[in-house]
Amino acid sequence: EKEYRGMWKDGQRNGQGTLRYDREGICEYTGMWVNNLRQGWGRQRYRRGVYEGQWKAGVRHGVGRMEWTDLHIQYAGQWRDGVPDGWGVQSWTQENSAERCAESDEDVADGQLRLNRYEGWFKNGVREGFGIFWYASGSRYEGYWRSSKKHGRAQYVNEAGCVHE
């Protein structure tokens, strides 16, 4: 069931308004509209996350922040055509003693949150170009990426601060 409260022009949503589109009232968009499309600044609440930022022609486009609450993932940065594209920061936590930190043999203690973080360039939703990846273990990778895989010149700094090129 859809419910819209806001401004109209010629029978279409235009200007500031809120659209709720599920029975529970969880999924909603509050922000600017142009000709029935999300346009400009707005906040979209999904069942499993929240996006706040810029929209263009109904899709995430410009600067914005998305949080996938069920996956414990956050992304803040540039968007293009609905996906991360440009400079951005992505982080996620690991919470489970059975999980291991990426590229580390260190177990994550029960209930302890560990944060992985990537800061760098994205292209079409994947890591592309230069970026720094901080592992939950405390080590980091500084270098280039292609299709979200390490690629090219880089250095790896372990938890003790030893540099490997």
User: 127 with 98, same domain?
Assistant: yes
Largest CA distance in the chain: 65
pLDDT band for position 93 (cuts 50, 70, 90): confident
What is the DSSP secondary structure assignment for residue 22, as one 8-state letter? S
Partners of 137 in beta bridges: none
Q: How far apart are CA 51 and CA 76, in angstroms?
A: 10
Domain assignment of residue 60, yes or no:
no
pLDDT band for position 107 (cuts 50, 70, 90): very low
Q: pTM for this structure?
A: 0.84
Domain extent for 6: 1-55
pLDDT of 112 strictly over 80: no
CATH number for the domain that contains residue 106: 2.20.110
pLDDT of 97 strictly over 70: no
Residue 22: per-residue pLDDT? 86
Partners of 20 in beta bridges: 3, 28
User: 103 with 157, same domain?
Assistant: yes
User: 93 with 130, same domain?
Assistant: yes
